Amino acid sequence: MERKIRNSAKALILRDGKMAAIKIRDAGEEWYIMPGGGQEAGEILPQAVEREVLEELGLAVSCGELLFVVEGVAGEAFHRVDLVFACDYLSEAPGAGIHTDTNQVGVEWLDVENLLHTPLYPSRLRRQIMNYAHGLPHKTYLGNENAGDPEYLD
């Protein structure tokens, strides 16, 4: 069976030294992912990011520049390409009606300073998010997530 490639548009939303993240619980383990999801046909990536954040977090954001690209080439039914965009928080959208995905148990604002100690997936984003938040140079293409993150300090 041929595996398909799936684009996933993700949002990096930073406020007051914290980043928005979705908390996942599965088989007794917990970790975090960035808000976002699959791009629909006829939809450009910034539209996908803004739609997904509204659906998952009930927040209105303005999608900005592409920051990071990370791939997941093994372990899933498809070859995943995550495209992470900087997003500006605009407002809460109370009437948005939040749609949660399977195993999603909450939304949290994670302290950027502690990301190396936080189970954030894809893990290769941690250091680069910290660098970006501090105005330091950061890599854009982060390679294959399945290679892991040597800096994770759990």
Residue-range domains of the chain with CATH: 5-146 (3.90.79.10)
Q: How far is CA 132 from the centre of its chain?
A: 14
pTM: 0.89
What is 82-104 written as a DSSP string? EEEEEEEEEEE-TTS---PPTTE
List the helix and strand counts (H, then E) for the chain. 2, 9
Name the pLDDT band for 92 (thresholds 50, 70, 90): confident
Q: What is the mean pLDDT of the chain?
A: 88
Q: What are phi and psi of 120, to 5 degrees?
A: -100, 130
Interval 98-129: pLDDT, tens:
666 778 888 999 999 999 999 999 889 999 99
Q: Is the pLDDT of residue 20 over 90?
A: yes
Interval 22-60: pLDDT, tens:
999 999 999 999 999 999 999 999 999 999 999 999 999
